[in-house]
Amino acid sequence: MQDYIKIAILENEVEARLIESILKEREIPHMLRSYHDTAYDGLFQTQKGWGEIRAPGTYEENILAIIDDVRSTARGS
């Protein structure tokens, strides 16, 4: 099994779920990690972003392209 590395920081939960759906559809191995901490009531999410996506390094370019497409579409570009 390949080591999972941090690929990108995700901006919010909607973006995270959409990207996760696309990655599952394309059968790209990945893992989402939320920065939410109940002890701090999500304080770090406002500073650092919603969380991160981790995956094997061999998929980095594909995942970054998907994230870029999702963000471009969301911004209307």
Q: Is 45 left (phi over 0), alpha (psi -120 to 50) or beta?
A: alpha
pTM value? 0.80
pLDDT in tens, 5-18: 999 999 888 999 99
How far apart CA 68 and CA 38 sit, in angstroms, is 30
How far apart CA 37 and CA 75 sit, in angstroms, is 28
pLDDT in tens, 5-62: 999 999 888 999 999 999 999 999 999 998 766 555 555 555 567 899 999 999 999 9
Pick the CATH number of 4-70 from 1.10.10, 2.60.40, 3.30.70, 3.30.1400: 3.30.70
